[in-house]
A = this chain, B = another copy of it.
Amino acid sequence: MNWESNVRKVVPYVPGEQPKAKDIIKLNTNENPYPPAPGVEALLKNYSTALLRKYPDPTCSSLVEAISEKYNVKPSQVFVGVGSDDVLAMAFLTFFNSGKKILFPDITYSFYDVWASLFKIPYEQIPLDDEFMIDPDDYAIPNGGVVIANPNAPTGVFEGLDGIRKILDANRDVVCIVDEAYVDFGAESALSLLDEYDNLLIIQTFSKSRSMAGLRIGFAIGSETMIKYLSDVKYSFNSYTMNSLTLELGAEAVRDDAYFKETCAKIVKTREQLKVKLKELGFEFPDSKTNFIFAKHATVHAEYIFTELKKRNIFVRYWNKPRINEYLRISVGTDEECDKLVTNLKEIIAGRENND
């Protein structure tokens, strides 16, 4: 017997590439093309590094309070973590201990099954329909919890709150997580349902709409009881997950609501223009309410386009997986980046079609 026999063996989630080269167009990880709010830069320049010798505020009060004000909930209803991945991992660990299968769609954020495997939580993947839509009735079966990304990734599809409500109604006895990583690009948050459903936990992130993927901030909003349980587990894992600097910079980003709305609106506008251009090039896609488009070309295979774009220093995301291997997930960049993308796509598709 060797120590290796006691290792928890896992198949990790694989994030999109983070190429170090410059002069690339990076549309592969749904990053925001605009910088964080201007106040963040000012705050960073004036930060006294001497403060770093001390432990951070374990209650994360500055950031928690900024979020609670923005979303009009109590500070005791807010939990913050190291990106929404950290928050989701903690939530899986805290709430999914029934021994029953948890449910989530077959096509969704591909970290859900990784967390379930890591924590030995049984799970069942419920197929989306051919339009990549959820049927809420599919979730009215015995289960140990439900996780819905809304809007969904990588499809970009938004499930209206009526559907979410049906799922919550059918699952009063388990925690239902609504993962709203992409909600700020024109979708509707389930926050308005919080007062009605004590089984609802909403999770959001600063990585997309607040241009702070590099800073690692995510948060959950739920009932005070639910947040207390989540915090207890967090405090049993790591007393201080959020560093002092991050707490201040994150709070500043939340306070600048005007900048937040302005950049989100710019991305939505670019996305809508990109939809038109992609259609003209022969792409089809479910309607996206996110900062990406999940697109399939009528004649040219996704993997070929993916590879050709990469040769031209344009990175998009491709998965060689059942049901989605004909699709590319294209993040919405600046207008200029999207124009370059379209120009290159036009050449790639024309070249391929001429060869056929």
A interface, CB within 8 angstroms of B:
1-16, 18, 20, 26, 29, 31-36, 40-41, 44-45, 47, 49-58, 82-83, 85-86, 89, 93-98, 114-115, 117-118, 144-145, 172-175, 198-199, 207, 211-216, 225, 229, 232-246, 249
Most buried by B among A14, A82, A117, A174: A82
User: Could you say which residues of chain B place their CB within 8 Å of the CB of A13?
Assistant: 235-236, 239
Contacts of A94 in B (CB 8 A): 7-8
Q: Which residues of B contact A95 (CB under 8 A)?
A: 3, 6-8
Q: Are B35 and A54 in contact (CB under 8 A)?
A: no
Tell which of A1, A4, A5 has the most Cβ of chain B within 10 Å. Answer: A4
Interface SS of chain A: loop
Given A118-B233, A236-B12, A243-B243; A53-B82 close (CB under 8 Å)? no
Query: Do A10 and B236 touch (CB < 8 A)?
Result: yes
Cβ B175 vs Cβ A3 within 8 A: yes
Check B238–A86 contact: CB distance below 8 A: yes
A15 touches which one: B26, B58, B117, B173 (CB < 8 A)?
A: B58
**CB-CB < 8 A to A83: which residues of B?**
238, 240
| Chain A to chain B: the 8 pairs with minimum beta-carbon distance, closest first | A12-B235, A214-B244, A35-B50, A52-B214, A6-B98, A53-B211, A15-B239, A10-B236
With A94-B8, A229-B7, A238-B86 as known contacts, state yes or no: A44 contacts B49, CB within 8 Å: yes
Contact: B55 with A214, CB < 8 Å? yes
* Given A243-B246, A245-B215, A245-B245; A6-B175 close (CB under 8 Å): yes
Q: Contact check: which of B35, B85, B225 meets A4 at CB < 8 Å?
A: B225
Q: Which of B12, B85, B240 contacts A232 (CB 8 A)?
A: B12
Contact A213 B55 (CB under 8 A): yes
Q: With A8-B94, A173-B2 known to touch, is A18 a contact of B236 (CB < 8 Å)?
A: no
Residues A6 and B53 in contact, CB atoms below 8 Å apart: no
Name 14 extra pairs, CB < 8 A, besides A3-B95, A10-B236, A215-B244: A3-B175, A10-B233, A12-B233, A12-B235, A13-B235, A16-B55, A18-B57, A35-B52, A44-B44, A51-B214, A82-B243, A93-B118, A117-B236, A243-B246
A8 contacts B53, C-beta separation under 8 Å:
no
A238 to chain B, nearest CB (A): 4
Docked CA distance A86–B241 (Å): 8
A36 and B244 CA atoms in complex are apart in Å by: 14
| Contact yes or no, B238 A173, CB < 8 A | no
Q: Which residue, of A50, A96, A239, has the highest number of chain B Cβ atoms within 10 A?
A: A239
Rounded to whole Å, the gap between the CB of A161 and the closest CB of chain B is 20
A26 to B144, CA, bound (A): 45
- Cα distance, A1 to B89, chains bound together (Å): 24
Q: Is the CB of B32 within 8 A of A53?
A: yes
Given B26, B117, B236, which contacts A54 in the complex, CB threshold below 8 Å?
A: B26
- When distances are taken between beta carbons in the complex, the residues of chain B under 8 Å from A50 are 35-36
